[in-house]
A = this chain, B = another copy of it.
Amino acid sequence: MPIDRRQFFQTSLGTLAASAIPGAASAGKNTFQDGELRVGILGSGYRGQSHIGELLAQPRVRVTAIADIDPRMIERTNSMFDERNLERPALYDRGPEDYQRLLAEAPVDAVIIATPWRWHTVMAVAAMQAGKYTGLEVGGAFSLDECWELVRTHEATGTHLFFLENVCYRRDVMAVLNMVRQGLFGELLHLEGGYQHDLRAVKFNDGEAAYGNGVEFGEKAFHEARWRTRHSQFRNGDLYPTHGLGPVANMIGINRGNRFVGLTSMATKSRGLHKYIVDHGGADHPNAEVEFKLGDVVTSMLSTVNGQVVVLHHDTNLPRPYSLGFRVQGTEGLWMDVNKSLHLEGKSPEHQWEDAASYLERYDHPYWKKDGDLAAGGGHGGMDYFLIRDFVRVARAGTRPPLDVYDGATWLAVTPLSEQSIAAGGSLQQFPDFTRGRWMDRVDDFATEES
């Protein structure tokens, strides 16, 4: 549950004057009043609501406008403000294009986009063009053109895009990043990550509850099953690459002295979703006729110009425990999260695994060491707290985000590249350089001492 904002102020930031807490929405566009950051939310579904909770827990942040088309979600969103005795945000609900009116007229300095995937790029482009500091939720691109469009719009407008990859802020991931930076794994060579999450009860429901009932998707379904499942029906690739890729890309400095050069992907046949429909809805259910194109397990390999290999897993249609499958391996040892273990030469017993817990505690990232208690109540085990705190920090300052449009374009590009590779039987794809050579000079400023 998000921390109540006023309580947060009182307990954690006593030095802030109570008068800094805003009482009402201020008018005006793209201007900071009293150092406030005014945020608009494009897509106030469950994910958008989670972001609103995190934003309202930050000092001097107001959520002043939302755009959505689902009355149930709008009602839930409004109740978040009512419960906190906060003014409701301005509402833009006149159809799916009404976000453009929000961008044109609402008093917002920044926006967060948490809509279905097909809206991500079009909304992010429009938001940057409107001069709004743009936070973009994760997903996977439909085409390389789309990735380039994000980059070109940023470069043309000068407006920043923060790619909101929250797993980069996961406690163990940040501790391992800390260990990488301190050289504990030596020179990094092989990394793995992925999205291995049994989403069957997310991809299907009964149109009422979001999770775990029924075998409907599309029009007859509710929440993610309304739109997400379509991608499993028609696309075959790594549809959701960034949770696994972002954290390891950071560790090897992708777009910061390093870049991806090649990718190959292979997919298994598709069995899990059809089986789920038959098992839970019967062989006579109309959806038992649907042919799903998404292979149940998709594996990709990425090579880097600095000689590393990254293996990515995508596995969402089968019964399995949740695991992002991280592996971080260098000349001095390796960490794996599936067995919560590591081996470090000269530290661990020879040829043996060692429980990673004591290292993760010892190398806890400064973010978590200092503010882990504040984060603990936040979304996804606390990582969303630091994600939104970083977003607010750079959006307020108008500075380059630590995970920026080049990172977003690079990570999102895995989806169309993997689709192309799979369609050609696993053929090698050249990885675009979205920085156009600037990766050689860019520096790492993700969660550094300075940030």
Contacts and interface: CB of A to CB of B under 8 A. Distances in A.
Interface of A: 186-187, 189-190, 198, 261-264, 266-269, 271-272, 275, 295-297, 299, 301, 303, 306-309, 311, 315, 318-322, 329-334, 336, 338-339, 343-345, 351-353, 424-428
A319 B334 CA distance: 8
A124 to B, nearest CB: 31
Number of copies: 2
10 contacts: A189-B318, A263-B426, A264-B264, A269-B306, A296-B331, A299-B311, A311-B311, A318-B329, A318-B330, A321-B352
Contacts of A351: 198, 320-322
Contacts of A329: 297, 315, 318, 320
A424 B426 CA distance: 14
Contacts of A319: 332-333, 343-345
A301 B425 CA distance: 11
Contacts of A299: 190, 301, 309, 311
Nearest to A279: B345
A269 to B, nearest CB: 3
A191 to B, nearest CB: 9
A295 B339 CA distance: 25
B187 A303 contact: no
Nearest to A307: B269
A425 B425 contact: no
Contact of A267 (B264, B309, B320, B338): B309
B338 A320 contact: no
A348 B308 CA distance: 36
A332 B353 CA distance: 29
Nearest to A300: B301
B428 A271 contact: no
A418 to B, nearest CB: 12
Contacts of A295: 307, 309
Contact of A331 (B266, B275, B427): B275
A190 B268 contact: yes
Contact of A426 (B264, B267, B352): B264
> Which of A187, A261, A339 is packed against the most chain B CB atoms within 10 Å?
A339
B272 A266 contact: no
A309 B189 contact: no
Contacts of A426: 262-264, 301, 303, 428
A320 B296 contact: no
Contact of A320 (B187, B269, B333, B339): B333
Contacts of A267: 309
A311 B426 CA distance: 13
Contacts of A268: 189-190, 307-309
A189 B297 contact: yes
B338 A266 contact: no
Nearest to A333: B319
B331 A425 contact: no
A315 B190 contact: yes
Given A268-B308, A321-B351, A331-B318, A301 B303 contact: no
A351 B321 CA distance: 4
